[in-house]
Structure 1
Amino acid sequence: MVRRLTVTFLFLYAVSVVAITVFPIRVRSAAYWAGEPWWTVFHWIPGDVDAPSFVLNVIMFIPLGILLPLLRPSLDAIGRLAGHAAAASSAIEVTQFMLGMTLGSRRTVDVNDLIANTAGALLGLLILRLAVPSRQHRAGYGAGSPPSPSPPG
């Protein structure tokens, strides 16, 4: 029951992230961007971002850092979770780039989004670890059954 609820939350979260990061798609003709090179959509300088945008990107990925380790205990490691969060964030950025190149929506591809999203997932893991300190208990919640007690000693 708990696992099914966690999977449902993860699905609803993923749909929400797609709704925020991909939609609306504004189709524009090539003439709209005439004279502006395609590479201007890339922002590669870390730290060159407004604080509210950065904070919102951190907040957006906190649920990922909570839900993934609950569903897959192997992701209850900083490096593994960071890799999955960076991959998910990269997928969003690539999608935005492809929509920009094919449909002219022209959303930016920003390294700061990647940094903020990964940081948000790690913050989510920290929150999960503070809320449920025992790794065994966290694994039990994701499995959908309560963890068995540890033998004394």
Structure 2
Amino acid sequence: MMRRRLTITVFILYAVSVVAVTVFPIRVRPAAYWADDPWRTMVHLVPGDVDGPSFVLNVIMFIPFGVLLPLLKPHLDAVRRLAVHAATASLAIELTQFALGMTLGSRRTVDVNDLIANAGGALLGLLILRLAVPSPRHRAACVAGSPRSPSPPA
């Protein structure tokens, strides 16, 4: 039980950190600041059109997601399910950035490459988890804590 609480706490701290990095700081600017720059300029829909360091950092940012979420929710140990959850979380970040850009003028870019990198990072995290703890049963026990076996009779 204590391991599960620790894992939940680490996941919450991780999630707060991701929000801090991807949403903040919010720079509020008047509409006149972006008057000649249409909203389309902050949306990048072409896969592969990204700088390397940004892509790598987005992969790294989601590795903990791929490690922690399957520990907390063992049914998310499947590649497809985890990829869908990672893409959904990443899409939520991108939509938040878009909404803040449109309403407050913060103008963070919304990029399909971030979705790809984040999902890839989560899957890399799952691979790391599977290499570290090969059996799904053992991964579940890592968080839940395995019950102590009775001591042998003396």
TM-score for both structures, normalised by structure 1 = 0.94
For residue 152 of structure 2, what is the aligned residue in structure 1? none
What is the RMSD computed on CA atoms of the aligned residues?
Answer: 1.3
Q: Say how many residue pairs are matched.
A: 148
**Aligned runs of 1:120-139 on 2, under 5 Å?**
120-139=121-140
Q: How does 1:4-153 map to 2 (within 5 A)?
A: 4-142=5-143, 144-146=144-146
| 1:139–1:147 contact (8 Å) kept in structure 2 | no
Dislocated runs of 4+, deviation >6 Å: none
Tell me how far 1:145 sits from its aligned partner. 2.2
| Runs of at least 5 residues in structure 2 that lack an aligned partner in the other structure | 150-154
Tell me if structure 2 keeps the 8 A contact 1:75–1:81: yes
User: Identity percentage over the alignment?
Assistant: 74
Structure 1: state its 5+ residue gaps.
none
Cα drift, residue 146 of structure 1: 1.4
- Native 8 Å contact 1:137 1:147 kept in 2: no
> Is the contact between residue 136 and residue 147 of structure 1 (CA under 8 Å) also seen in structure 2?
no
